[in-house]
Every structure is written in structure tokens, then in C-alpha cells.
Amino acid sequence: MSHTFVFLFLSLVSAALAGTVTYDWSIDWVTAAPDGFSRQVIGINGAWPCPPIKATVGDTVVVKVYNNLGTESTGIHFHGLDQRGTQFMDGPSGVTQCPIPPGSYFTYTFQIDKAGSYWYHSHNKGQYPDGLRGPIVVQDPADPYAGQYDAELVLTTSDWYHNTVPVLLQQLLSPSNTRFFPPLPNSLLINDSQNVTFQFTAGKTYKIDIISMAAFASTLLQFDSHTMRVIGVDGSYIQKHDAYQIRVAPAQRYTVLLNAQPTTRRNYAFLASLDENRDYLNDPAPAYPLNITGYIVYDSTKPLPPPYVVNKWSIVNDFTFVALDNQALLGAPDVDITLDFTFCLDSGGIPRACFNNIDYVTQKVPSLFTAISTGTENSNPAIYGQVNPYVAKKGSIVQLTINNLDAAIHPFHLHGHQFQVCEKPSSGKGTFNGLVRNFPAVPMKRDTIAVNPNSYAVIRFVADNPGVWLFHCHIEWHVIMGLTATIIEAPEALVGLSIPDDNQAACKAQNIPIAGNAAGNTNNLTDLTGANTVSPYPDNGQVISGHLTWTWLTVL
């Protein structure tokens, strides 16, 4: 019996057995102290850490949200899930929905069409560093690695801050921040804790879903005497690839197999180290690294090993991974997008981050609503305002090049797709010259790529998912600073779509228009009078009941 037949058979069985997984969430302020420092965080149903979402391929997931934050709007993005046919459920405020106002309900409904490890997080006002994030694990009835592991574990990693996001934004979005410094984290968390132990049984194999929920820094990982066999990245299966060390950039995920030791003669340690360097390969090691030693325990009666030490990081090169499905490199592109990343200042002297010297500014009308309400004019990027819009017709092959002109590594994420990684050279290679030289015959696929400093990356994908999808740096501080572009994908298939009731209600409650160009003009679509051209920034923030609220100054 062929592998293809088995895969198709199991996929049909999965579809037949698919069910509905429902979550009822109240998003609240709660108190937590994951690193010993007590602070207010955003939790769910009065608790933190936030709960995981668990599902199986084919399931429909329903997440019913009530915003109980009092003075803050919110919204949730389901990172890595492509939302095919459910464009309105992607979650970024000002793009696929209006933010959910305080005291309001909103229901996200979508079908799971692929397995792997993902995560959810707020895509509104930089909230997820304040705690609004959690893992998503999707089981696969057609798992090509089924039978090769005995149990599955989840390992999340994130940086953590003692100040709340509004306080940190005062520092970030200050005219005095002339060197564009982001806030530096206070600690590292593993599974939202600093005390992590995995219980192993000798002779067994463990599948570990590693998920970065970080806002700024990557995590370096190594397990003592246990080689990681990487089998998946960002929800895409790859051919097995051994790795002793991995670097998990913000928003990336790795799925690895660990073979337990054959005996229980001792217990073992692993090291998670927060990578705060701009370029870990070329910068000196930090004097006071934020490290966590975790433990693999075989025998609880035996002592734990001492803190684990890694003298040199030699990270596996993910560009050498090969997609398990053997999909060949996509052909010559129909749409060629080049994004040069630099830091910049807006007209008010506020530090921003730019693609092609333009920082992203959320518009009066959510961009997806502009696409569905403007008829055939929706293929004109000019009507979307200052969101760095690029149009790709349905079925076109898109090549997107990121030229990172900064001295630091940056992770970039594309909504709605897993893309092929065509080229990702080392640091200092300059900008892409357009020549296809090192593109692999079978590239790996992922949705978040770490682009080296003073270098570039080239990715390709097929525009087969109609919607409005963001492409942005996943350092959350740089998202706030404007490092985002917008892909208007298959606009011809978006015309006239019906906006779900909850989406309409959220907009109506805040007097946000749901039709027209970026400025809400429904008559002359190229007239952008009144469109936002500078992002709002905090002015005269004041503390009320322990939370910082803002008087927002919007410059039009």
C-alpha cells in the first residue's frame, strides 16, 4: 500500500470524524509572578498562563471572546493558521476586523486544515507582551512520523517584562529615542515559568513542540546528551534533520524528536538562553545572560545535574532543511516585491521602522473591508492608504525579498501562508541582486523567517488564499513602530463578501466605517483626504487604578 494512498485514506477518515472545539474566554486583568516579580498581566477566565487550544485536522474551532479589560480594546490572531475561506477571522485590528471594545463579545470561527504547532496572541496595541498569548497544538491523523514517538510535550519560550506595555511604549515612542532602542526584557520564561522539568522513561521517544511566544529576543536551546531530530518547522513537515542546537526566533516553532536514554543511571539538563545580541554569531556574549536550566528526569530519587553550560553556540542552519512533501521550487514570479528595512522618523519626530522608507499606519477603514467594498477598484493599491499595500492576482507566484539594512537579525512573518525559503545568506551579504543562484530545488516552507543583519532573504508563495494578509517583523516593538506591509491577495475574489455580524458590531460600537477607501470615502476612491498618515502615539499618559491609560494624539 503506497504512502500516498494511506495519507489520502487517513485524511478522508479525519474529515469524517471532524468535530467542533469550542472555547469561551473572558479576557481579564490578573496578577501573576512567573519569574518571582508580581505584576498585572492579561489572562483568560481569571487565570494566567493563558490556556492552550487543542484540535485535530478537520475540526472547527470556535473561540468566543468577551473583552473584560475595562479600558482597552483587544483582538486575537491565530498565528500560522492560514484562515482559508475565513479571512475575517485572522485577527489583526484595522486589517481584518475592528478591535473588540471593552464590554463586548466577539466570536472567531474557523476550520483547522493542517497539523502542527502554532500559537495565538493579541494583534492589537502591542498587548501580547503583557501576557495575552498561548499555544495551539493540532494533531494529525495522517502524521507521516506516526509510530516514531511515544508521547508529545510542549515547550514554550518567551521573554518577559516587568513593566506593562503602555509604560514601555513611552520609552520606545519618544523623540529622545534617537537610536531606536527597543525595551529590553527582564527575564526568560519556559512554559511561562523558570522551573521546568520533563519526566522521561528510558527507551521511549518524545515529540516536543517548541513554540516561541517572545516579543523581542530569540531563545537558544541545547539538550545535554539528547540530539534533536527536527521533523517540522512552523507547521510544515521536513525531512529529519539532526540538530544539537537551535535558535527559535520570536513566533517561530520547531517540532523535534528526542530519544530518551536507554537507562536511568542519571538525570540530564537542558539550557535555554535568551539571545539579546543583535547578531549572536558576530557579537560578544552578554555579560549577564538570561538563562534557564531545565531538567529531564529519569529517576526522581537521583540528584539533578548542575546548571548546564554551553561554551559556544553553533546553531543548525534551517536553510538546509528540506520539505517532506518534496514540493519543487515555485517557478518564475509573476509578482516581485522588494522591501528594504530601515529605521526612520515620522513627521512628529517619533522613531519608526520602515519598509522602503514608509512606516505602516492603520487606516480608518480596515483594509479587508476596503477590498470587499470597492469593486474592481480594489486592485488599485493607492486606495488602501499608508499600509505598504501590494496586490497579487489569484494564482500568481509572488516573490518577496526582504533586504535587512539593519545590524540585527529580524524575524519576519507572513499571515495566510507558509512560504518557500528560496535564499537566506549569512550576515553581511548586502542586498539581493536579483540573480537566482542558490535557490534550492526543494525549499523548506515556514511562515516566520529570521533574516540576518546587513543581508537579505527571498521567499515565494502562490497567491491562492484570497484575503488581506500582513507581512511584518515579529519583534512586537517594531510592529508598533510600523514595520509592516500588506498583501492584497486575489482582490477579484474578495469583491462583495459579506462582513460577519460580530465584525460589523465591533466597528459600529466605535463609529468605525466599514466601506470605502482608507479614509472611508465611498464616492471618489482615489481621494484619500482624511486618511491616516501618521500613527497615533501616547501623550500625557496617566496611571488609573494601576493601569496606564492614554490621551491619544492622532496626527492626520
CATH number at 335-553: 2.60.40.420
- Distances 131 to 76, 101, 164, 455, 459 between C-alpha atoms, Å: 12, 18, 10, 32, 31
Map residue 259 onto helix, strand or coil. strand
The rounded distance, in Å, linking the Cα atoms of 385 and 106 is: 27
- The whole-number pLDDT of residue 316 equals 95
Per-residue DSSP letters for 176-217? T-TT-PPPPPSEEEETTBS--EEE--TT-EEEEEEEE--SS-
Average pLDDT (350-377) is: 97
Residue among 48, 306, 361, 35 at smallest CA distance from 185: 35
Q: Is the peptide bond before 49 cis (omega within 30 degrees of 0)?
A: yes
The rounded distance, in Å, linking the Cα atoms of 214 and 253 is: 11
Cell, residue 266:
542519571
In 96-182, alpha helices (H): 165-172
Write out pLDDT tens, residues 278-299. 887 777 666 568 999 999 999 9
* 3-139 matches 335-553 in fold: yes
Map residue 318 onto helix, strand or coil. helix
Pairing of strands 268-275, 253-259: unpaired
- The whole-number pLDDT of residue 288 equals 62
- Distances 478 to 197, 321, 352, 504, 516 between C-alpha atoms, Å: 33, 28, 8, 29, 28
The rounded distance, in Å, linking the Cα atoms of 292 and 63 is: 33
Cell, residue 62:
470556535
Give strand pairing partners of 296: 198, 268
Q: How confident is the model at residue 435 (pLDDT cuts 50, 70, 90)?
A: confident
Residue among 289, 259, 257, 263 at smallest CA distance from 275: 289
Q: Which amino acid is at 473?
A: C
Cell, residue 438:
542558490
Average pLDDT (9-29) is: 75
Residue 121 has pLDDT above 80, yes or no: yes
The rounded distance, in Å, linking the Cα atoms of 202 and 548 is: 51
User: Residue for cell digits 512533501?
Assistant: 325
Write out pLDDT tens, residues 503-556. 999 999 999 999 999 999 999 999 999 999 999 865 333 332 333 333 332 222
The rounded distance, in Å, linking the Cα atoms of 172 and 351 is: 8
Residue 31: phi and psi, rounded to 5, are -110, 135
Question: How many residues can be counted in the chain?
Answer: 556
Write out pLDDT tens, residues 235-255. 999 999 999 999 999 999 999
Map residue 19 onto helix, strand or coil. coil
Average pLDDT (210-220) is: 97
Write out pLDDT tens, residues 85-106. 999 999 999 999 999 999 999 9
Map residue 481 onto helix, strand or coil. coil
User: Residue for cell digits 518547522?
Assistant: 233
CATH architecture of 151-320: Sandwich (2.60)
Based on its alpha-carbon atoms, the radius of gyration of the chain, rounded to whole angstroms, reads 23
Write out pLDDT tens, residues 310-362. 988 999 999 999 999 999 999 999 999 999 999 999 999 999 999 999 999 99
Contact 538, 552 (CB under 8 A): yes
Name which residue leads in pLDDT, 6 or 506: 506
The rounded distance, in Å, linking the Cα atoms of 91 and 482 is: 17
- The whole-number pLDDT of residue 160 equals 98
Give strand pairing partners of 182: none
Map residue 13 onto helix, strand or coil. helix
Residue 15 has pLDDT above 80, yes or no: no
Q: In what order do the strands lie in the sheet containing 76-79?
A: 53-56, 133-139, 116-122, 76-79
Domain locations in the chain? 3-139, 151-320, 335-553
Cell, residue 500:
460577519
Name which residue leads in pLDDT, 537 or 31: 31
- Sign, CA dihedral 96-99-104-107, equals positive
Backbone φ/ψ region at 11: left (φ over 0), alpha (ψ -120 to 50), beta: alpha
CATH architecture of 3-139: Sandwich (2.60)
Residue among 441, 444, 438, 408 at smallest CA distance from 423: 438
Map residue 372 onto helix, strand or coil. helix
Q: What is the mean pLDDT of the chain?
A: 92
The rounded distance, in Å, linking the Cα atoms of 34 and 543 is: 24
Least confident of 75-84, 169-178, 538-547: 538-547
Average pLDDT (11-33) is: 82
- The whole-number pLDDT of residue 282 equals 76
The predicted model scores a pTM of 0.93
Residue among 487, 485, 429, 421 at smallest CA distance from 459: 421
Residue 416 has pLDDT above 60, yes or no: yes
Share of the chain above pLDDT 90, in %: 88
Greatest Cα pair distance in the chain = 76
